[in-house]
A and B are shown apart, each in its own frame.
Chain A
Amino acid sequence: DVKVTQSSRYLVKRTGEKVFLECVQDMDHENMFWYRQDPGLGLRLIYFSYDVKMKEKGDIPEGYSVSREKKERFSLILESASTNQTSMYLCASSLPQGPHGYTFGSGTRLTVV
């Protein structure tokens, strides 16, 4: 069963901490994405990557960075966590022109206190 795996379902971090969210896919997809989901705002794109070592800013990249050293793994980094980064984070992967769009992970609920 093909899937996208996010390493943590729930995380609680303190303000100012450096936070790593990990995502691994086993479908050999070229594209990987990080979104955050907030009530009333839907899914907003943080960063995406079309290939290993490549990254592109999405709509809300401020306060985040990413790393893609291997094709199957895409990490989201919160350099210095803040309370306004409390959110549901969703990782997804896709083929370049996949008709079904994305395959999503189950999400990581991050709370910054």
Chain B
Amino acid sequence: DQQVKQNSPSLSVQEGRISILNCDYTNSMFDYFLWYKKYPAEGPTFLISISSIKDKNEDGRFTVFLNKSAKHLSLHIVPSQPGDSAVYFCAASFTGTASKLTFGTGTRLQVTL
């Protein structure tokens, strides 16, 4: 049973525009959420996170929004750059479980010129 879902396997966005990647979760006990970025032949790298006590967190061009009532989070990238082309995974955890993460299926973002 997939507790963390990314329903869009791929997304194509023009350079300079906004990229919006979505993630839904089913377990209301999740209280910490992260986004990772993965290039081919490399391991995923941490991008940004958000605690369930917040509804927004920003870091430069990256903003994560959390809607707890809808069990939905999204990652906004503004403006999108060609170097952002990668696979993006959202992940969720329960505080107190030693940061064991449950990952989504990933969304491949292609930023075109």
Contacts and interface: CB of A to CB of B under 8 A. Distances in A.
B98 A104 contact: no
Interface string B85-105: 000010101010011111111
B99 A97 contact: yes
Interface residues of A, number: 30
Interface stretch (A14-22, A41-49, A68-76, A79-87): A41-49
B99 A95 contact: yes
B66 interface: no
Given A101-B34, A101-B49, A101-B93, A106 B42 contact: yes
B35 to A, nearest CB: 10
B46 A102 contact: yes
A110 interface: no
Residue with the highest number of chain B CB atoms closer than 10 Å, among A33, A43, A94: A43
Contacts of A90: 43-44
Contacts of B100: 31, 33, 45, 48
Interface string A29-59: 0110101000011111100101000000000
Main secondary structure of the interface of B (DSSP, over half): loop
A42 B89 contact: yes
B53 interface: no
A43 B42 contact: no
B43 A107 contact: yes
A21 B83 CA distance: 31
Interface of B: 4, 6, 9, 34, 36, 41-46, 49, 89, 91, 93, 95, 98-106
Interface of A: 4, 9, 30-31, 33, 35, 40-45, 48, 50, 90, 92, 94-107
10 contacts: A40-B105, A41-B105, A42-B6, A43-B44, A48-B100, A50-B98, A94-B99, A99-B49, A101-B34, A101-B49
